[in-house]
């Protein structure tokens, strides 16, 4: 991941790498700060004061980022970050962040997407905490896994090589390439197949809703998503069926459904 940050920012040294022992504070609520952090190794807990009580609202692991609000708004920290174990973070200041955006504008879209999800989860947490609906006094941290939906396996067969990839649509399946900044991997990683890097890091997703299957191109995708040669509109779900050819940039697959588990 550190190498990915170097490529995205032009970083040439390890000056941005920070190490923390268990219990060390990265920062405290109310501190001034102009840096954000990416978790390279270990885990970090995010604590927030609610009704005069400090509560854990998130546990962040490899690939997660935090502290971006102070970097973007130059305001005091609105939460506390503390290492839960031996942890290595990549510190990104304003200059590095600016370089990241100039070299790869898609990073801004990924940050916006993650911020949107984080705001929604925090809102849900605060509603429960303030209404007292949780009799144990503990609220499920952000990022905790929900009950899985019913399995619905399908298969993507690479049109050129014949290599097959199985997906389980119990949850939306993301399609793209490994993110070199966060280390996050999509469900279907195009990195090896897409030698020309024509697909975006988070290019599209396949979702199942009320028995139908849809393909959605993600916001920020550059080189298009195609069904049987027809380009999709960004963020507009397109119903897809078995036997159709799906193309992400220059990488094409044949989509098959109802594939039994091996």
Domains annotated on the chain, with CATH: 2-131 (2.60.120.10), 153-257 (2.60.200.20)
For residue 191, give every residue at least 6 positions away whose Cβ sits within 8 Å of its Cβ, in sequence order, or none: 177, 178
* pLDDT interval class at 262 (50, 70, 90): very low
pLDDT, mean over the chain: 81
Q: Is pLDDT larger for residue 5 or for residue 163?
A: 163
pLDDT at 142: 44
Average pLDDT in the 43-55 region?
88
pLDDT exceeds 80 at position 23 = yes
User: Given this model, what pLDDT does residue 82 score?
Assistant: 97
pLDDT higher than 90, residue 224: yes
pTM for the structure as a whole: 0.54
Output the pLDDT for position 144.
43
Range from 5-14, 71-80, 133-142, 183-192 carrying the lowest mean pLDDT: 133-142
Residue 201 — very low, low, confident or very high, per pLDDT cuts 50/70/90?
confident
Q: Per-residue pLDDT averaged across 168-186, rounded? A: 80
Residues 184-194 have pLDDT tens digits of 689 999 999 99
């Amino acid at each position: 991941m550190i190498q990915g940050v170097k490529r995205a920012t032009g970083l040439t040294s390890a000056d941005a790498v920070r190490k923390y022992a268990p219990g060390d504070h990265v920062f405290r609520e109310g501190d001034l700060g102009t840096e954000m952090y990416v978790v390279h190794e270990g885990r970090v807990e995010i604590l927030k004061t609610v009704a005069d009580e400090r509560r854990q609202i998130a546990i962040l692991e490899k690939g997660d980022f935090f502290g971006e609000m102070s970097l973007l708004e130059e305001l005091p920290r609105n939460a506390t970050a503390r290492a839960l174990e031996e942890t290595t973070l990549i510190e990104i200041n304003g200059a590095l962040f600016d370089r990241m955006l100039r070299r790869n504008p898609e990073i801004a879209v990924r940050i916006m997407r993650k911020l949107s999800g984080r705001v929604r989860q925090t809102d849900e947490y605060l509603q429960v905490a303030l209404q007292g609906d949780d009799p144990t006094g503990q609220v499920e941290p952000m990022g905790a896994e929900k009950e899985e939906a019913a399995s619905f396996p399908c298969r993507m067969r690479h049109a050129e090589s014949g290599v097959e990839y199985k997906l389980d649509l119990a949850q939306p399946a993301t399609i793209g390439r490994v993110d070199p900044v966060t280390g996050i991997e999509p469900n279907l990683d195009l990195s090896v197949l897409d030698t020309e890097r024509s697909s975006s890091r988070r290019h599209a997703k396949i979702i199942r809703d009320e028995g139908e299957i849809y393909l959605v191109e993600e916001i920020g995708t550059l080189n298009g998503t195609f069904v049987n040669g027809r380009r999709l509109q960004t963020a507009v779900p397109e119903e897809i069926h078995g036997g159709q050819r799906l193309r992400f940039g220059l990488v094409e697959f044949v989509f098959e459904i109802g594939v039994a588990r091996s």
